Amino acid sequence: MSTSDTTTDSQNRPPELLKATNVKKHFPLEEGLLDRLFGENRSVRAVDGVDLTVRAGETVGIVGESGSGKSTLGRTVSRLYEPTDGSIVFDNEHIETYSGRQLRPIRRRVQYVFQDPMSALNPRKTVGESVARPLTVHDIASGPEKWERVADLFEEVGLSASQMGAYPHELSGGQRQRVGLCRALVTEPDLVIFDEPVSALDVTLQAQILNLINRLQRDFDLSYLFISHDLNVVRQVCDRIAVMYAGEIVERGPTTDIFENPQHPYTRSLLDAIPQVGSGKRGDSEPLRGEPPSATNPPSGCRFHPRCPEFIDGRCAGEAPSLQSVDGDDSDHEAACHWLDRSAAERASHTPPSRSEREIIQESSSDAD
Ligand code: ADP
Ligand code: MG
């Protein structure tokens, strides 16, 4: 979480390694006959106008429920996917329109670690061979040097060099995830994108792997984008967190601000849903109700309004709030909620709509699906 880089901006922050602006990724829907007849052009708006910055040496977390667009965002900003719109700058290079050959050096410098490390390992090859392969593909090393590098990495992540000869099915889940880390680090990347890297592991193993991930960052000067649905997990590794809901970022800021002073009702519901959270817990908010919205036809105005315990009649359904600074906090703490415009007194005296009112709201908005 520290960096050796000496180029900082006016606020003494490390340089931006990745900067995505207004990024969108829409997937075309399989069109039915009626859609074709009536000329409707519908799509899944998985990521719908996101700004995201990762500075050198830092870890930025993306959290949100399943289906909120986290994986699509990670894959789009790293150009595994082609963006539908927006700009993506990696180390001062615009990469949003890059293709094929232009992306090759980016593939080497940006690596992925997935929930299931088996997806990156060939079941018929030894794990050593799988880890060594990118060295050949990217022309980085060959011969004895190649195997030396792989052996060093195995030891770095707490495996033994003799385990290079094992096949994936011979290893435990935790060992495989360590191999997954070797596979990602072997090309000496600048940015590693973790997509739910510990979600398949039990809590003890999670802690071990998260510690390892933190140590590797310091040892190799890495920047991380860390995707997880689990706030307890992101808390252990992230400097800053962005909360995603229905393809948009609804709140972002330094990890402590998100936990100690959450502003968006969605962030508060997520925090309330996790056990033993410290002072960020507001005992008065209700658990999150209802289902995540349709990504094809998201609710009008604030996309969270049908589920929001603090719904303000009219405004929330009619007008989409944009991210704005949270008073009194670090200027990097922003939330997109109409309540931020209200005075503290007004907020304190606000009575959320009753359950039945909300059910009506919810029903009327799901009719639109
Ligand atoms: P998360 O990682 O937060 O669970 P995803 O990015 O996987 O969310 O998915 C966001 C939305 O985009 C979901 O509605 C999902 O069904 C849809 N989606 C993801 N990938 C594709 C795809 N390749 N084609 C069509 N829809 C997709
Ligand atoms: Mg995902």
Index of the ligand 1 atom closest to the CA of residue 65: 3
Q: What is the pTM of this model?
A: 0.89
The mean predicted confidence, pLDDT, of the chain is 88
In order, the DSSP letters of 159-206 are --GGGGG--GGGS-HHHHHHHHHHHHHTT--SEEEEESTTTTS-HHHH
- Residue 368's pLDDT is 40
Binned at pLDDT 50, 70 and 90, residue 316 comes out as very high
The pair of structure tokens assigned to 148 is 């030396």
pLDDT above 90 for 224? yes
> If pLDDT is split at 50, 70 and 90, which confidence band does 3 have?
very low
Which whole number is the average pLDDT over 116-144? Answer: 93
> How many A from CA of 301 to the centre of ligand 1?
22
- 248-263 confidence digits (pLDDT tens): 999 999 999 999 999 9
User: Which ligand 1 atom lies nearest to the CA of residue 229?
Assistant: 3
Closest ligand 1 atom to Cα of 71: 2
One-letter identity of residue 359 = E
Is 3.40.50.300 the CATH classification of the domain at 15-27+42-238? yes
Decide if pLDDT at 97 tops 90.
Answer: yes
CA of 46 to the centre of ligand 1 (A): 6
In this predicted structure, which of 177-191, 205-219, 350-364 has the lowest mean pLDDT? 350-364
Of the candidate ranges 91-95, 156-160, 208-212, 284-288, the one whose mean pLDDT is the lowest: 284-288
Any ligand 1 atom below 6 A from CB of 71 = yes
**d(C-alpha 61, C-alpha 224), whole Å:** 8
Per-residue model confidence as pLDDT tens digits over 72-84 = 999 999 999 999 9
pLDDT at 279 over 50: no
Q: Is 66 in the pocket of ligand 1 (CB under 6 A)?
A: yes
Residue 29 pLDDT more than 50?
Answer: yes
Q: Where are the domains of the chain?
A: 15-27+42-238, 261-368
67 pocket-lining for ligand 1 (C-beta < 6 Å): yes
* The predicted structure's pLDDT at residue 116: 86
Q: How many angstroms separate the most distant Cα atoms in the chain?
A: 71
Residue with tokens 């390992």: 121
- In the chain, the percentage of residues whose pLDDT exceeds 70 is 85
Confidence of residue 366 (pLDDT cuts 50, 70, 90): very low
Does the beta carbon of 64 sit less than 6 angstroms from any atom of ligand 1? Answer: yes
CB 288 within 8 A of CB 242: no
What does the DSSP assignment read for 39-104? Answer: T---EEEEEEEEEEEEETT-EEEEE-STTSSHHHHHHHHTTSS--SEEEEEETTEE-TT--HHHHH
At 288, the pLDDT band (50, 70, 90 cuts) reads confident
Ligand nearest to the CA of 62: 1
- Name the residue at shortest CA distance from atom 15 of ligand 1: 67
Q: Is the CB of 44 under 6 A from ligand 1?
A: yes
pLDDT at 238: 98
pLDDT band at residue 2, thresholds of 50, 70 and 90?
very low
Supply 100's token pair. Answer: 């094929």
Specify the higher pLDDT residue, 146 or 310: 146
> Could you tell me which residue, 39 or 114, shows the higher pLDDT?
114
pLDDT for 100 beyond 60? yes
CA distance 2 to 10: 17
**Dihedral sign, Cα of residue 217, residue 218, residue 219, residue 223:** positive
The dihedral over CA atoms of 159, 165, 166, 167, expressed in degrees to the nearest 10, equals 130
Which amino acid does the sequence have at 131? V
**CA-closest residue to ligand 1 atom 25:** 27
At 169-181, the pLDDT tens digits run 999 999 999 999 9
pLDDT at 220: 96
Q: Is 31 helix (H, G, I), strand (E, B) or coil?
A: coil
Query: How long is the chain?
Result: 369
Report for 66-75, 117-126, 283-292, 305-314: range of highest mean pLDDT = 66-75
* Ligand whose nearest atom lies closest to the CA of 244: 1
Q: How far apart are CA 24 and CA 282, in angstroms?
A: 33
Confidence of residue 335 (pLDDT cuts 50, 70, 90): very high
Contacts of 363 (CB under 8 A, 6+ apart): none
What spacing in Å lies between the alpha carbon of 48 and ligand 1's midpoint? 12
- In this prediction, residue 344 has a pLDDT band, given cuts at 50, 70 and 90, of low
Atom number in ligand 1 closest to CA 73 = 6
Other CB atoms within 10 Å distance of the CB of residue 66: 9
Atom 5, ligand 1: residue with shortest CA distance: 69
Determine which residue's CA is closest to atom 24 belonging to ligand 1.
27
Secondary structure element (H or E) that encloses residue 219, with its range: helix 203-220
Q: Is 128 in the pocket of ligand 1 (CB under 6 A)?
A: no
pLDDT for 281: 46
State if residue 68 touches ligand 1 by the CB under 6 angstroms criterion: yes
- Percent share of the chain, pLDDT over 90: 73
251 has which bridge partners? 243, 335
